[in-house]
Amino acid sequence: MHKKDFLSIRDLSVEETHDLLDLAFSMKANPAKYTSALEGRGMALIFEKPSLRTRVTFDVGIHQLGGFSVYLSPLEINLGKRESVYDVAKNLERMVQGIMIRTFGHDIVENMAKWASVPIINGLTDFNHPCQAMADYMTMKEVKGALEGRKLAYLGDGNNVAHSLMFGAAKLGVRIAIATPEGFEPNREVIEYVRREGRATGCELLVTNDPVEAVKDADAVYTDVWASMGQESEADKRKAIFQPYQVNGALFSHARPDAIFMHCLPAHRGEEVTDEVIDSPNSVVFQEAENRLHAQKAIMYTLMK
């Protein structure tokens, strides 16, 4: 990697993105080979937002690599209030060999990376969710083989997950279609970046308000909750707006017959996806969740070895 941090897939080269996926597959196939890779190395896990998958996969992952973790809850740090990001960074760099942070503003992880001398891993911000997208593309490759030219359809809010999937598509040559209600499209700068940088890999980006157009002939269909953490007050309003984007049997039927269904979880069953789809043989959501472990082990190993 050119950088010592993992803040966004955008920061990786095409080669680095492929290398991380290859390493994740190696770690999944041969876990015993890496059991002392990060022996004695500690990672601070900073959580400003609650989590199941991020918490467990980073905690278990660093231990499987021979290291250890220190969990830090919002009450223990309260970034920017109890203690500044600068002070937290300068303290932790003297105590641990890496920091994972799951927070709100993307500027928080950028500042942590600016001020801390140890590697910073973005466990989620309001802008992107790069560890999730790495696990997603690992899963897609595991099931579908080569990613180049495959079509991924994403339906719902043009949010942090959508942004990271888009960045990943540009690096991996995936054709990606994003369908959102009007006014909920992804960040304009992200769209422009993916269209510009994706030319070299064969990535094609479609942004539409038509869910059927997005899903047509897709190899994978992806969705996320309609109201993310911090948007709970908008939940009822969003339900009405996003209802046409629900991934149900009728909408899923427009994808390829062997298409897979993907979701970053947690899922609000009966809202963005029906039980008929998420519990179908086409669903790979739990395989995706497991692959968070392997993808993040590859990231930790690459940054902290």
> 195 catalytic, yes or no?
no
> 294 catalytic, yes or no?
no
Taking a C-beta distance cutoff of 8 angstroms, is the pair 265, 132 a contact?
A: no
Q: What is the pLDDT of residues 11-54, one digit of tens each?
A: 999 999 999 999 999 999 999 999 999 999 999 999 999 899 99
Is the pLDDT at 78 greater than 80? The verdict is no
Give the mean pLDDT of 6-12.
Answer: 97
Give the mean pLDDT of 116-120.
Answer: 97
Where is average pLDDT lowest: 1-15, 55-69, 214-228? 1-15
The CB density around residue 256, as the number of other CB atoms within 10 Å, is 15
Give the mean pLDDT of 184-195.
Answer: 98
User: Which position among 163, 175, 292, 294 bears the catalytic label?
Assistant: 292
Fold classification of 132-288 (topology level): Rossmann fold (3.40.50)
* Radius of gyration for the alpha carbons in the chain, expressed in angstroms and rounded: 19
Question: What pLDDT sits at residue 124?
Answer: 98
Architecture of the 9-129+292-304 domain: 3-Layer(aba) Sandwich (3.40)
pLDDT interval class at 229 (50, 70, 90)? low
Question: What pLDDT sits at residue 1?
Answer: 38
Question: What pLDDT sits at residue 230?
Answer: 67
> 132 catalytic, yes or no?
yes
pLDDT interval class at 134 (50, 70, 90)? very high
Is the pLDDT at 231 greater than 90? The verdict is no
User: SS3 sequence, 169-194?
Assistant: HHHHCCEEEEECCCCCCCCHHHHHHH
Taking a C-beta distance cutoff of 8 angstroms, is the pair 158, 185 a contact?
A: yes
User: Which position among 126, 136, 219, 224 bears the catalytic label?
Assistant: 224
Which residue spans of the chain are classified as CATH 3.40.50.1370? Answer: 9-129+292-304, 132-288
Q: Of 184, 120, 113, 198, give the one whose Cα is nearest residue 154.
A: 184
User: Which position among 102, 163, 175, 238 bears the catalytic label?
Assistant: 102
Taking a C-beta distance cutoff of 8 angstroms, is the pair 63, 293 a contact?
A: no
Q: What is the distance of C-alpha 252 from the center of its chain?
A: 22
Give the mean pLDDT of 173-202.
Answer: 98
> 129 catalytic, yes or no?
yes
Residue 44: partners with Cβ closer than 8 Å, 6 or more residues away: 69, 70, 72, 92, 95, 96, 98, 99, 100
Taking a C-beta distance cutoff of 8 angstroms, is the pair 93, 42 a contact?
A: no
Q: What is the distance of C-alpha 25 from the center of its chain?
A: 17
Within the chain, residue ranges assigned H as helices are 14-29, 53-64, 74-77, 85-92, 106-115, 130-144, 160-172, 188-197, 211-215, 235-242, 249-252, 275-278, 285-304
User: Which position among 64, 132, 246, 296 bears the catalytic label?
Assistant: 132
User: Which position among 41, 53, 106, 129 bears the catalytic label?
Assistant: 129
**Calpha distance 271→245 (Å, rounded):** 9
In the chain, pLDDT over 90 holds for what percent of residues? 91
> 264 catalytic, yes or no?
yes
The CB density around residue 280, as the number of other CB atoms within 10 Å, is 13
- pTM to 2 decimals? 0.96
> 243 catalytic, yes or no?
no
The CB density around residue 64, as the number of other CB atoms within 10 Å, is 19
Is the pLDDT at 3 greater than 50? The verdict is no
Is the pLDDT at 2 greater than 90? The verdict is no
Tell me what the pLDDT averaged over the chain comes to.
95
User: Which position among 175, 264, 294, 296 bears the catalytic label?
Assistant: 264
